Chain A
Amino acid sequence: MLDDIPQEEYLLKGNTACAGCGAMLALRYILKAAGQNTIIVNPACCSTVCQGTYPKTAYGVPVLNIAFAAAAAAADGIASARRNKGKNIIVFAGDGGTVDIGIQALSGAIERNANILYICYDNEAYSNTGMQKSGSTPYGAITTTTPTGRKDSKKDIDLIIMAHRPKYMASASAAYPKDLYEKVRKALTIEGTKFIHVLCPCPSGWRYSTEKTVELGRLAVRCGMWFLYEYEDGKVKLNAPTKAALKRPAPLADYVRPQGRFKGVNLERLQKEVDEEMDRIRALAGIENAKEASE
């Protein structure tokens, strides 16, 4: 199934990521999809650290590291220089740099239809600084700034992005690398702003043992905590794993139990949120999809 994915590696060995890092798993496939003709823009986030320390770098493509709030604008600056026509300009930004501090620059870039691919790798907290609450932290999750669990709910960046009507938008998961690879490939054929939101489990922040990254990434989709879909021409198209999950979701407890961050969560309230989100995504995908899902 992974046969057509290139052998070339642009995320090199010896990078300084944590063991089991979902973001680096995602980045590995994103770079395989994008290839050599790519410039990465990194705001402050885990991946600035994962590159390793000067004079070495673990990325096989050029990288411009930039201030936290500036990634989308800096990428637009690169894309706007005629000399960079035909190059893949990709922002690789964490959830904090996307849904919180970087949202203004991102909003501006989509509005201008900047010719960039913006990827938000979402580990649902400020993981680089040691796991503080971000706008993307889900209800009930323990972080160092929500030590008894977050009391309010995750900001839905996807709906905010969709309101900008970008050329292409997708959600993906590090646990579905082939799907992610294909979405990146597709996005890079489209002129204008593309946005891909990738769930990237984080063993140290979510407090689970490192070998469970893929398992938890898949469970997030199966229990309806994360959806896989694409938004194109004003329409939402659900991908197969999410269609299946909407039909028969896995028990939420299977996803929540192995994670230390959900210790003491009110599972009933979380389930209520998940149910509401599932209804919302059904509505977004259109009534036909909702019927398909319940058939």
Chain B
Amino acid sequence: MKKMATGNQAAALAVKESNVEVVAAYPITPQTEVVETIASLVETGKMNASYIRVESEHSALAACIGASASGARAFTATSSHGLLYMHEMIHWAAGARLPIVMANINRAIGPAWNIWADHSDSLSQRDTGWMQFYAATVQEVYDTILMSYRLAEKVCLPAMVCLDGFILSHAIQPLDVTPSGDFIPPISLPHALDTKNPMSYGNLTGPNDYFKFRRMIHDAMKRADKECREVEREFAERFGRKYGPVMEYRTDDADTIIVGMGTMAREAEVAVDLLRKEGLKVGSMRVRQFRPFPRLGLEGKKVVALDRDCSYGAGGILAQEIRFHHDVPVYNIIAGIGGQDVRYEVIAELVRKARPEGEFWLGVD
């Protein structure tokens, strides 16, 4: 069924379609519409789940951890400071190998107060053991949440589905909400709390076992990269929508590649069209899957990395990831932080002026 929906509504509808059993959430702008929509679906009997109105984000994720540890499918949504407030439990969920799925509506972090799009919140959770996906359309938000449940439950890792605050969370686009059918099977967690087979989870562990558990998370993350391709292939067969870890646009003969994430990387595709008209061989890659980080195939290309974030003292985080995984020079454009407007003409102009290497802050440099 086709309808018009915002990115936030798409997230909520995907949660309903995924047969989530427990939702626990605390409101924060611009995530609120997700939890409002779910609350409404639950209270009107359209969604068969428990909805826990917790008193904080720390408790929201703790409640999801409790539900998930007992074998139930769980969901939460947050943004910005909410995600940071969850940070301790973010680690806990991954360490406990619980396949919780969360929508994070990307938003800047204070001070100063700023409610607009920014990737600093989710990227600051990079090393916690959560898979991270960045969507760029309303349909993609919906589809990525469905695929995330499949994947998370296969590899026993939590997944964060990220969407840009307001630019995507509040944008209305067409959405196909075709029922998922048996695409997401009933959940079966191998280590669910079981009163008939009592085990202690998360108790004291000596250095050797602890070390092994950490390696297992790393291995699961690598396995997730392969499993995700399988899930995407099956999703495409069933629903006709194809996704990959990276969405390439006009890259075949390109000598310059713009790499970005989220809506700014979609905007870059329009910039590519503009530059192509000028005869420049430019293409773009939109990184959907940030953790585990995919191979991008950038060898021999000139790379322009668009970052809506900064690791202060080191530069754009996406640029660093590219430099770590690929032996290529990267020109790093830091733009869009705190919701700064970055239109395709601006991106095109920055690419025209791009040097082989270096860093450029839009509106500051």
Contact = CB atoms under 8 A, between A and B. Distances in A.
B58 A63 contact: no
A74 B65 contact: yes
A61 interface: yes
Interface in B57-78: 58-60, 62-72, 74
- Leading 4 A-B pairs by shortest Cβ distance: A77-B66, A65-B202, A108-B55, A73-B59
B56 interface: yes
A51 B201 CA distance: 10
A76 B63 contact: yes
A250 B68 CA distance: 50
Nearest to B196: A36
A71 to B, nearest CB: 8
Contacts of A80: 22, 24, 50, 52, 63, 66-67
Contacts of B63: 73-74, 76-77, 80
Interface in A182-214: none
B127 interface: no
Interface in A1-54: 36-39, 41-42, 48-49, 51-54
A73 B54 contact: yes
Interface string A64-97: 1111011111111111111110010000000000
Given A48-B204, A64-B69, A77-B65, A36 B209 contact: no
A111 B98 CA distance: 27
Given A39-B193, A74-B69, A78-B66, 18 more contacts: A38-B195, A53-B205, A57-B199, A63-B201, A66-B92, A73-B59, A75-B66, A76-B66, A77-B66, A77-B69, A77-B74, A80-B50, A80-B63, A87-B195, A104-B58, A105-B58, A105-B59, A108-B56
Secondary structure of the B contact surface, majority rule: mixed
A248 interface: no
Contacts of A55: 209
B55 A107 contact: yes
Contact of B200 (A38, A62, A84, A105): A62
Nearest to A65: B202
A108 B63 CA distance: 11
A67 B92 contact: yes
B55 A66 contact: no
12 contacts: A60-B198, A62-B194, A62-B200, A63-B200, A64-B65, A64-B193, A65-B202, A74-B65, A76-B63, A77-B22, A77-B63, A78-B69
Given A108-B55, A111-B55, A84 B203 contact: no
B228 to A, nearest CB: 27
Interface string B79-119: 00000000011001000000000000000000000000000
B121 interface: no
B309 interface: no
Contact of A83 (B72, B88, B200, B202): B72
Contacts of A111: 55
Interface string A210-253: 00000000000000000000000000000000000000000000
A81 B22 contact: yes
Contact of A48 (B72, B197, B203): B203
A54 B21 contact: no
A62 B195 contact: yes
A112 B50 CA distance: 12
Nearest to B68: A77
A79 B62 CA distance: 12
B70 A78 contact: yes
A48 B201 CA distance: 10
Range, interface on chain B: 35 or more
A104 to B, nearest CB: 6
Interface in B183-232: 193-195, 197-206, 209
B53 interface: yes
Interface of B: 21-22, 24, 50, 52-56, 58-60, 62-72, 74, 88-89, 92, 193-195, 197-206, 209
A59 interface: yes
B203 A54 contact: yes
A71 B62 CA distance: 8
Contacts of B204: 48-49, 51-54
A55 B66 CA distance: 21
Nearest to B91: A67
A83 B198 contact: no
Contacts of A57: 198-200, 203
Contacts of A72: 59
Nearest to B213: A54
Given A54-B203, A78-B193, A105-B55, A70 B72 contact: no
A64 B194 contact: no
Contact of B67 (A41, A66, A67, A78): A78
A77 B52 contact: yes
Given A39-B193, A112-B53, A63 B66 contact: no
A77 B195 contact: no
B220 to A, nearest CB: 19
Nearest to B199: A62
A42 B63 CA distance: 14
B203 A82 contact: no
A188 to B, nearest CB: 14
Contact of B65 (A51, A66, A107): A66
B58 A70 contact: yes
Nearest to A76: B63
B52 A112 contact: yes
B203 A77 contact: no
A64 B72 CA distance: 14
A91 B66 CA distance: 12
